[in-house]
Chains A and B, each alone.
Chain A
C-alpha cells in the first residue's frame, strides 16, 4: 500500500501527469466535436448515415464509448512511469528502498489502477456534459440504459487497463523511447491492420485494441463490423492478461538485470 502511495507521489511531483491529462482531454474534446458535428450526415452514399442522428439513442451510446479512444495517452504515461526510472537512474534509489524488485512493479500497477480510473472519470465527465448538451439541443430524449452503463464501465476499464498495459510494457522494454515507439506502433499500425482486414479479425479480437473494442462496443457499426469481437468481459480479461503477463515476464527477465 505504501508503495502505491510512493508511486503516486512520484507521478504528482513531476509535470508529466498533467501534460498527459491535458492531451487526453484535448483528444476527447476533438473526438466528441467531430462525432457531434458529423452526426446524421448522410454524405454521397444513399442509405443510413455513417453516424446516427443526434436525437437517436444509438448516437448517445456511441458518444459514451468515444472516451476509450484516448487510452493511448494513459498507456504512454504507464510506459513512462516504468521507463523514466531507468532513464533518470532513479531505479537505483527505488531498488535500494525496495530491494524485492517485483514489489516495485506491483506498486506501480496499483498506482496505474488509480491513475487510469482518474483519467477515465475525467473523460467520462466531459462525455456526460457533451451528451446532455447535444441531445437536449437536438430535442432527443436522454436515455441511460443498461447498454449505456456497460459502455461507461467499459470505457473506465479500457483507460485503466491500458495504463497497466503501458506499465507492463515499460517493465519489459526498459528503454523509454523504444517502449513508447513499440506501444504507439502497436496501437496505430498493427492493430489498425488486423482489425481492418476481415481475414485477420480472428487474431485481431485478441489484440489489446480488439479487447478494448469489445469492452466499449456500442453495437453501432462504423464500417469495420462488430460481430467479430469478444464478449465484453472476455475483452477485459484479455487486456488485464496482457498487463499481468508483461509484468510477470519482466519480473523474471529485464527486472533481474544488474543495475550498474
Chain B
C-alpha cells in the first residue's frame, strides 16, 4: 500500500488547466520532492490530496482513502500549507490547543509539538509578532500534533533562514528514514530539496514531466565526459568516427556517446596526449530547468 497515491488527477480553474492527468505515489520511509516552477500546479495537487480543493477527475488517496473519509485525519496526515493561516491575535500554544480539542487529542500534544519545532519559548506570544520563519515552524508543529505517518508540505522552506532550512532537511530525513513516514514536499527551488529527497516528481504547466529516483534523474541527463587535450584537431575526428558527439567549450571537449575507457583507448591509438579526462556530473539544476522549460540558467 502506498501512503500517497495520485492517479490521473485533473483540475481546472475556469479556463486554466491547473493539473492535467498527474499520477504518482509516495511510499512509507521515503521523501519525494514535488518540483516545478511557480504556477506549475503543485499547490493545487496537494490541496486536492487534502480535500481542500475538489478535483475534476482522477483520484488522490492517502492511506488508500480520500482525505475527507479519514476518521482521524490529523493522526494520519500532517500538512503544512502556506504560512499565513493563523489568527494574528491568538497565541501559538492556543492555536495548537484548539486543533487538539477539535481533533480529540490531549492538549499536552500542543506543548510537545512546539518543543519539537523549537518554539517552546514563544508559546504564549501572539502570532502577529512572528517572523515568516516562525510561522513556518508553527505550521510544522500543527502537522505534528497528531503524530501522523504521512506528511504533505507545500514549499516548507519559504521564509526559513539557511539555518532553518538545514534544520528542516534534518527533520524531514528523521521523519522519513528513522520513523518510516512518507514525506511529500513541494518546492520550486531544486537546490532546497536536492540533498534531502529520495525521489523526484517534476511537474510543469499541470503535466507530469518526469518522475523517478534522484539517481535516475541525474543519469538520465546526457552524461558527458570532459576531455582536455592540446591537440583537439587530431582527436575529434577519431572520436566522431567512433560514434561520439563532441562539442568544444572553454578549452574542453565535451564528449557524449563513449565512456572514458574508450576515449582513452582512442587517444592512445591516435597518439594524442590527454591532459584531463573526467566524468561530467550531470547538473541536476540544468536537467530541472530543461525539463520544466525554463531555459538555461
- Interface residues on chain B, size class: 35 or more
Contact of B53 among A3, A13, A96, A259 (CB under 8 A): A259
The reply to whether A258 and B47 form a contact with Cβ atoms under 8 Å apart is: yes
Q: A202–B136 Cα gap in the complex (Å)?
A: 56
Find chain A residues with CB under 8 A from B51 CB: 95, 99
Spot the interface stretch: A4-12, A35-43, A179-187, A231-239.
A4-12
Closest to A94 in B: B102
The reply to whether A90 and B87 form a contact with Cβ atoms under 8 Å apart is: yes
The reply to whether B73 and A96 form a contact with Cβ atoms under 8 Å apart is: yes
Find chain B residues with CB under 8 A from A96 CB: 50, 52, 73-74, 79
The reply to whether A3 and B102 form a contact with Cβ atoms under 8 Å apart is: yes
A92-B85, A93-B85, A100-B68 known; A13+B91 contact, CB < 8 A: yes
Q: Which of B218-265 contact A (CB under 8 A)?
A: none
The reply to whether A6 and B68 form a contact with Cβ atoms under 8 Å apart is: no
Min CB distance, B104 to chain A, in Å? 5
**Is B166 on the interface with A (CB-CB < 8 A)?**
no
**Is B54 on the interface with A (CB-CB < 8 A)?**
yes
The reply to whether B94 and A258 form a contact with Cβ atoms under 8 Å apart is: no
**Is B81 on the interface with A (CB-CB < 8 A)?**
yes
Find chain A residues with CB under 8 A from B273 CB: none
The reply to whether A13 and B99 form a contact with Cβ atoms under 8 Å apart is: no
Q: Which of A1-55 contact B (CB under 8 A)?
A: 2-3, 5-6, 9-10, 13-15
Q: A256–B9 Cα gap in the complex (Å)?
A: 19
Q: Report B's interface with A, CB cutoff 8 A.
A: 13, 43-44, 47, 50-54, 67-68, 70, 73-74, 79, 81-82, 84-91, 94-95, 97-99, 101-104, 142
Find chain B residues with CB under 8 A from A97 CB: 73-74, 99, 102-103
Q: A107–B47 Cα gap in the complex (Å)?
A: 24
Find chain A residues with CB under 8 A from B43 CB: 260
The reply to whether B102 and A6 form a contact with Cβ atoms under 8 Å apart is: yes
Min CB distance, A159 to chain B, in Å? 24
Find chain A residues with CB under 8 A from B103 CB: 97
Q: Report A's interface with B, CB cutoff 8 A.
A: 2-3, 5-6, 9-10, 13-15, 84, 88-100, 107, 256, 258-260
A99-B51, A99-B67, A259-B53 known; A88+B86 contact, CB < 8 A: yes
The reply to whether A2 and B85 form a contact with Cβ atoms under 8 Å apart is: no
The reply to whether B52 and A92 form a contact with Cβ atoms under 8 Å apart is: yes
Find chain A residues with CB under 8 A from B102 CB: 2-3, 6, 94, 97-98, 107
Q: A184–B82 Cα gap in the complex (Å)?
A: 33
Q: A259–B54 Cα gap in the complex (Å)?
A: 9
The reply to whether B79 and A99 form a contact with Cβ atoms under 8 Å apart is: no
Closest to B107 in A: A9
The reply to whether A2 and B54 form a contact with Cβ atoms under 8 Å apart is: no
Q: A95–B81 Cα gap in the complex (Å)?
A: 12
The reply to whether B73 and A99 form a contact with Cβ atoms under 8 Å apart is: yes
Q: Which 7 A-B pairs have the closest CB atoms?
A: A6-B102, A13-B94, A89-B85, A99-B68, A259-B52, A6-B101, A258-B53
The reply to whether B142 and A93 form a contact with Cβ atoms under 8 Å apart is: yes
List 9 A-B pairs, Cβ < 8 Å. Answer: A13-B91, A13-B98, A14-B87, A14-B90, A89-B84, A91-B85, A92-B85, A94-B102, A97-B73
The reply to whether B87 and A88 form a contact with Cβ atoms under 8 Å apart is: yes
Q: A107–B103 Cα gap in the complex (Å)?
A: 13
Q: A98–B47 Cα gap in the complex (Å)?
A: 15
Find chain A residues with CB under 8 A from B88 CB: 88
A3-B102, A13-B91, A13-B94 known; A90+B52 contact, CB < 8 A: no
The reply to whether B47 and A259 form a contact with Cβ atoms under 8 Å apart is: yes
Q: A90–B81 Cα gap in the complex (Å)?
A: 11
Min CB distance, A64 to chain B, in Å? 36
The reply to whether B85 and A5 form a contact with Cβ atoms under 8 Å apart is: no
Q: A256–B28 Cα gap in the complex (Å)?
A: 31
Q: A116–B84 Cα gap in the complex (Å)?
A: 30
Find chain B residues with CB under 8 A from A100 CB: 68
The reply to whether A9 and B67 form a contact with Cβ atoms under 8 Å apart is: no
Q: A98–B67 Cα gap in the complex (Å)?
A: 10
Contact of A95 among B52, B90, B95 (CB under 8 A): B52
Contact of B104 among A2, A15, A92, A260 (CB under 8 A): A2
Find chain A residues with CB under 8 A from B90 CB: 10, 13-14
Q: A259–B85 Cα gap in the complex (Å)?
A: 12
Find chain B residues with CB under 8 A from A95 CB: 51-52
A13, A93, A96, A259: residue with the most chain B Cβ atoms closer than 10 Å:
A96
A92-B81, A95-B51, A96-B52 known; A6+B73 contact, CB < 8 A: no
Q: A92–B44 Cα gap in the complex (Å)?
A: 14
Find chain A residues with CB under 8 A from B91 CB: 13
